């Protein structure tokens, strides 16, 4: 167990990180992600309010759908990345990173005051969240549920009954596999977890979650993206819609987009022997050209992989540069992101 954003979380279960990665890629694994903060916004104007603070366009999103997006401050810096789910005409769920929850909530509150009819309710402690991920996730959930969970399409959310408890389930995740995130009431959390385990889903911890998300080219806020990064250099432009009326980051993001960015996020594979790690310097013929933000050994690809920001001149696929792995310069090559994509989604 390790401390994580005020929670005690398992780094891995007894089978180990690699076994957990393989379970998710080949069958199904599950993560207790109850630590992630869940906020509900409701009341007249809730959706148009969220359009002023999130990079997603929600007014045009149908009920029952969800979108990945970023939350940017007025300077265009990324406070967090999140999923927003529209669960009713004027009701949305926002799932944010545990480590950023206080900052995001503190940032939203004063902006909410100008929209007197919109309520924000933090119900993180009332409902848990379990992510069941893997090619067999849908079939297994159908067995454990009283409602056909597999009928939910990707990036949709619906109300279901699992192991006798009523809850919402969304076909979303953070592993690059097909899968679901279910939100049982807190008192049913353990029962649902046990039902999944008994149906053959392997319990997985933070360690494998980090490997899986990196293989899938997904960002980790606080590591790959921070308030010092904007969504354009992070390669998140496709998740940014800045023309919603009153969008707080409109001016900064419009300016940043027009200016262009001198650095950009790339994925790379190691050519030489070594595993890249967060914070290591990237150089080309002795010139400093970037920094590693994430790196690991990928059991799925049997390769050492990483992501990082590099000078745009060195961002093209197949470009080679060197990573300073604790004093040794190891060659790496830019590869397209994601490193891994499932055939099942």
Partner 1 sequence: MTPDDRKYSKEHEWALVDGNVATVGITQFATESLGDVVFVDLPEVGSAIEQFGKFGEIESVKAVSDLFSPVSGTITERNDSTIDDPETVNKSPYGDGWLLKIELSDASQLDDLMAAADYDKLTAEEA
Candidate residues 11, 105, 144, 158; the one interacting with partner 1 per rule CB under 8 A: 11
50 with 86: CB under 8 angstroms?
Answer: no
Residue (of 339, 330, 323, 328) closest to 291 by Cα position: 323
Among residues 99, 203, 235, 274, which is the contact residue for partner 1, using CB under 8 A? 274
Check residue 158 for interaction with partner 1 (CB under 8 A): no
Other C-beta atoms lying within 10 Å of the C-beta of residue 153: 10
Q: Under the criterion CB under 8 A, does residue 252 sit at the interface with partner 1? A: no
Query: In terms of CB distance, is 2 or 139 closer to partner 1?
Result: 2
Using CB under 8 A as the binding rule, whether residue 267 contacts partner 1 is answered as no
The answer to the question of residue 277 lying near partner 1 (CB under 8 A) is: yes
Q: How far is the CB of 164 from partner 1 (least distance, A)?
A: 36
- Are 104 and 71 spatial neighbours (Cβ–Cβ below 8 Å)? yes
How many residues belong to the site for partner 1 (CB under 8 A)? Answer: 16
Q: What is the rounded CA–CA span in Å between residue 56 and residue 120?
A: 18
Residue 275 beta carbon to partner 1: minimum distance, rounded to whole angstroms: 5
Q: Of 12, 100, 229, 293, which one interacts with partner 1 (CB under 8 A)? A: 12
Nearer to partner 1, 231 or 299 (CB): 299
- Tell me if 179 contacts partner 1 by CB under 8 A: no
In the window 292-311, what residues touch partner 1 (CB under 8 A)? 296-297, 299, 304
- Among 128, 141, 127, 221, smallest CA distance to 178 is for 141
Q: Which region among 8-16, 160-168, 194-202, 286-294 touches partner 1 (by CB under 8 A)?
A: 8-16
SS3 119: strand
Measured CA to CA, the distance from residue 84 to residue 48 in angstroms comes to 13
Per-residue tokens: 47: 């959706």
Q: How many Å apart are CA 71 and CA 73, to the nearest integer?
A: 7
- Residues present in the chain in total: 345
Which residue from 55, 112, 106, 96 is spatially nearest to 230, judged by alpha carbons?
A: 55
Task: Name the residue nearer to partner 1 (CB basis): 158 or 291.
Answer: 291
Give the binding site for partner 1 (CB under 8 A).
11-12, 16-18, 207, 211, 273-275, 277, 296-297, 299, 304, 326
């Amino acid at each position: 167990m390790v401390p994580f954003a005020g929670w005690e979380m398992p780094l891995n279960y007894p089978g180990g990180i690699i076994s957990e990665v393989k379970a998710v890629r080949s069958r199904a694994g599950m993560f207790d992600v109850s630590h992630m903060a869940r906020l509900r916004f409701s009341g007249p104007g809730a959706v148009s309010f969220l359009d002023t603070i999130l990079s997603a366009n929600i007014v045009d999103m149908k009920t029952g759908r969800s979108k990945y997006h970023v939350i940017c401050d007025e300077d265009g810096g990324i406070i967090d990345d999140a999923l927003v789910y529209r669960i009713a005409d004027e009701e949305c769920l926002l799932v944010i990173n545990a480590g950023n929850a206080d900052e995001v909530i503190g940032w939203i509150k004063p902006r909410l005051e100008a929209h007197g009819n919109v309520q924000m309710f933090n119900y993180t402690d009332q409902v848990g969240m379990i992510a069941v991920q893997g090619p067999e996730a849908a079939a297994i959930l159908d067995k454990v549920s009283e409602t056909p969970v597999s009928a939910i399409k990707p990036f949709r959310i619906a109300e279901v009954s699992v192991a006798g408890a009523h809850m919402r389930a969304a076909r979303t995740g953070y592993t690059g596999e097909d899968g679901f995130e279910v939100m049982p009431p807190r008192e049913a959390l353990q029962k649902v977890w046990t039902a999944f385990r008994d149906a053959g889903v392997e319990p997985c911890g933070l360690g494998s979650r980090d490997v899986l998300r990196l293989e899938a080219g997904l960002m980790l806020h606080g590591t790959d993206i921070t308030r010092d990064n904007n969504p354009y250099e992070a390669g998140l432009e496709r998740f940014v819609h800045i023309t919603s009326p009153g969008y707080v980051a409109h001016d900064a993001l419009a300016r940043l987009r027009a200016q262009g960015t001198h650095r950009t996020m790339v994925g790379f594979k190691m050519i030489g022997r070594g595993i890249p790690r967060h914070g290591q310097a990237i150089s080309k013929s002795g010139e400093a050209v970037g920094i590693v933000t994430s790196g690991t050994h990928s059991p799925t690809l049997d390769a050492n992989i990483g992501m990082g920001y590099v000078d745009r001149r060195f961002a093209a696929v197949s470009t080679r540069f060197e990573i300073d792995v604790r004093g040794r310069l190891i060659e790496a090559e830019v590869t397209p992101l994601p490193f891994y994509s499932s055939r099942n989604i």
